[in-house]
Copies of this chain bind each other. A is one copy, B any other.
Amino acid sequence: MTTILHGNLIHTPAFGKLETIHGGYLVLEDGVIQGVYRVLPEQYAACPAEDYGEGLIMPSFADLHLHAPQYPMLGMGMDLPLLDWLDTYTFRTEARFEDTAYARRVYRALARELIACGTTRVAMFSSRHTDATLVLMEELERAGVTGYVGKVNMDRNGGPVQETTEDSVAETLRWLEGCRFAHIKPILTPRFTPSCTNELMAELGKLALERGLPVQSHLSENDGEVAWVKALHPDCGQYWETYQKYGLWKSGALMAHCVHSGRREQEAMAEAGVWAVHCAASNVNLCSGTAPVRELLERGVHVALGSDIAGGDQLAMNKVVVMSIRASKIKRMETGAAFLTVPEAYYLGSAAGHLYFGGGAGFQAGHLLHAVVVDDSAMPEPTRELTLAERFERAVYLMDRRHIKAVYSEGIERLRQIPGPEKR
């Protein structure tokens, strides 16, 4: 079935490159992009069209690092030092997901909020709970969010959410058994090196190899953590080697933060094809530092963005894109490194994540459509007609879910089924 989307097309086909078409046409065949046109080709003239008028049709967002069970604590505990924050909020909040009925309510709300904010692809941490993790995957699938979810593994230093090594392995296998979703797939998730015994790390590495499973974890987030990892693994010169040692340092592994990754660690990422997930809001909120994003990019490391809720306080990825611009300006003031331009930061929060999951950068033909449609007509009246590049920038800075009029995920519009903010 052929569908036409008509409106202002704005996308980033390459890092730093912005393409705009005023009043253009996006042609889909069963949700797969056929092409982008300034003038509609004759053969499509009779096809049904969605006319978004002056709306901005832009690639949707991808959030490659967030903790689903921390959604209930969004925007709280921000004045606490990291360890108190973990103890007072994080672990206690995650412990509540023993209760799958509670998990159902929270995860349904989260999945809907993701779609409402235009996020259609995720790589997500769940809690250690197998059943709640399967509920999370089911709710994401239902709402139209695609990507990876991981049951968290943590058999040490885990407070009320710690597991035994045996349970951690057995539950991981039980969870993998239960993963039968079309668009949400499992990803192995050792929380971070201090949370996992060597034995558990080895088991997960084996599983990653045997089943070809992807991996996500944390890397070099703050100085105290880096020193702790060093104390736990005196044989490893650097943090990343603790993952490599157990077969968890592999192509496509997602490593959140990388704030304190030095040259050698960055080169190891580039070599192995490990991705850095930059979480600017969280890094400032928790006083972790400002990640060397430009340096990572220049060394050839793949970089994507993460909201990292609830260390991050913003689920909406356009806000995360803006925070990554701000963080890069802070970095520029420190080091002189060029800051991220709006198209660059948008690429990291959108195209990079789509590429990670095998999609295209921008509206590339041959890929299922992932897009948001933004109505910017209620934004402040400008002094003159704006270019699409200006409207794009303004949308990235100012939009919230009120401005998002449609969200396409895997070629299908998913927003219409989500209740409005007043109806939750």
Contacts and interface: CB of A to CB of B under 8 A. Distances in A.
A394 to B, nearest CB: 4
A332 interface: yes
A109 B381 CA distance: 9
Nearest to A310: B380
A196 B370 CA distance: 52
Contacts of A400: 400
A78 B287 contact: no
Contacts of A285: 326, 329
Interface stretch (A27-35, A66-74, A199-207): A66-74
Contacts of A105: 381
A380 B421 contact: no
A378 interface: yes
A89 to B, nearest CB: 9
Given A74-B398, A78-B342, A322-B313, A92 B383 contact: yes
Contact of A341 (B74, B79, B102, B326): B79
B393 A76 contact: yes
A326 to B, nearest CB: 5
A234 interface: no
A333 interface: yes
A75 interface: yes
B330 A96 contact: no
Interface string A7-49: 0000000000000000000000000000000000000000000
Interface of A: 71-79, 92-93, 96, 102, 105-106, 109-110, 284-285, 287, 289-290, 313, 322, 325-326, 329-330, 332-333, 339, 341-342, 378-384, 386, 390, 393-394, 396-398, 400, 402, 421-422, 424
Given A78-B342, A381-B72, A421-B378, A284 B329 contact: yes
Given A75-B397, A394-B76, A380 B109 contact: yes
A106 B339 contact: no
Given A284-B329, A285-B326, A322-B313, A390 B76 contact: yes
A382 B92 CA distance: 11
Contacts of A290: 330, 333
Contacts of A330: 284, 290, 330
Name the 10 nearest CB pairs between A and B, nearest first.
A75-B397, A96-B383, A75-B394, A75-B398, A313-B397, A79-B341, A284-B326, A72-B382, A72-B383, A71-B380
Given A76-B394, A78-B393, A339 B287 contact: yes
A380 B329 contact: no
